[in-house]
Each structure stands twice: as C-alpha cells, then as structure tokens.
Amino acid sequence: MKKRFFVTGTDTDAGKTYVTVGLLNAAQRAGLKSIGLKPIAAGADRVDGKLRNDDALLIQQASSVKLAYEQVNPVVLEEAIAPHIAAMKEGRLITVSRLEGFIKGALLTPNAFALVEGAGGWRVPLNDRELLSDLARKLEFPVILVVNMKLGCLNHAILTAEAIIRDGLTLAGWVANSGSEKMPCYEENLASLTSIMSAPLLGVLPWNESEEDSTQAFDELFLAL
C-alpha cells in the first residue's frame, strides 16, 4: 500500500525540509522506494546557468527513486520572497492545476512512499485567487504539520491544525521541531500542544540531538505514520 503525505509547517523555516529529508532517509533505511517533491520553491541560485533551490536539492538527494531536478521542483523562483510575488516579478503565473499536474506526473514513477513539501505555511498565496492549501486539497494526501517550537508556536500550530481539518483533509499528526536553540519553557509548551492538538504528536526532534539520536528519532517518526 502506497503512503503519501503533504508536509506543511507553522511558518517559513519551521523545519519542513529537515523533516521531509529525515523521513525520506528513514524510508530508504526501511527499504522502500521513496520520492520527495518540492513543487514550488522561492529562493534559488544559478548552477550551470539553471536555477536550483537548496531545499529541493536536498530532497532530490534523499529520495531513493532518482528523478530529474525539474520533476522534483518544477517551479523554481529566484527571489526568496512570497512565491506569488516572486512569480509576478518574473512575469509568471502559478496555478493549482499546473502544480497538481506536475506532482501527479512525477508520482507515476513507481514508489511506495512519497512526500510533497509545501512552501512557507498553510495559507501561502499562489496567485490572486488560489492558495497553496488549495493544492493540498486537490491532492487529498494526509498532512504532516511541522511545528517550529519557538515563542508563538501555540497559536500558529493550533490555527494551522484547525485550518487543515476545516479544509476537509486528514491531519496525520504533528512534529515538534526545536531548531538550533531550545525555547524557554519548552516542556510546558510541548505539553500544552500535546493536550490541545486534535491530532497525534508523531515525534519530537530535540534541539541538541546527535546524528545517532536524529536517525533514531526519524525512524520512530516514520514508523508512526
């Protein structure tokens, strides 16, 4: 049975790519054919004359099924700003239907585990009428919410979870990502979210974890899905 998830976060730099890459590596350790996609990315450098986004490159490398960069990240924008603004400045139009087509085309390649990583948070605009959450609704994949454990995360996490569920999607669970520094009252905030959130806590990624601890954390997170 194929497992497919949409990965979103409470905000920009919440750790979506960190979680996506970690889960893809765990899937590979489990012997599964895995694919990671970053359909839209804003912020890229030119490599041999072509735009390449660092997060998309990491996802491409972590996938056990090797796809061309253009399949992993079909829409890449140069400026690291809101995607719809970056697209407007480049004279491009991003639509849900186009992104959906790219994703479904890439996922025709045989796979058992696939992750589609969003950009920014849940309600990021794609154009003047459509949001990134509209793409997630079209795909109908269960959603993994990465919570950036910092001051303000309670409000961000609860509102995002409510929006995902209100959009008619399954919230598979949430991941507590602590980043490079531990927030004040970390344990208390984690306990509050665990009691309030309507979906299970899939895993906790400690702020000072070693490589061995990180591998174990992602293996456990993968098994929880």
Q: 116 and 8 in contact (C-beta within 8 Å)?
A: no
The answer to whether 66 is a known catalytic residue is no
- The strand pair at 40-42 and 3-9 is best described as unpaired
Six-digit token string for 212: 């061995």
Tell me which amino acid residue 97 is.
S
Q: Rounded to 5 degrees, what are φ and ψ at 120? A: 65, -140
Catalytic residue of the set 2, 3, 33, 38: 38
Catalytic residues, which ones? Answer: 38
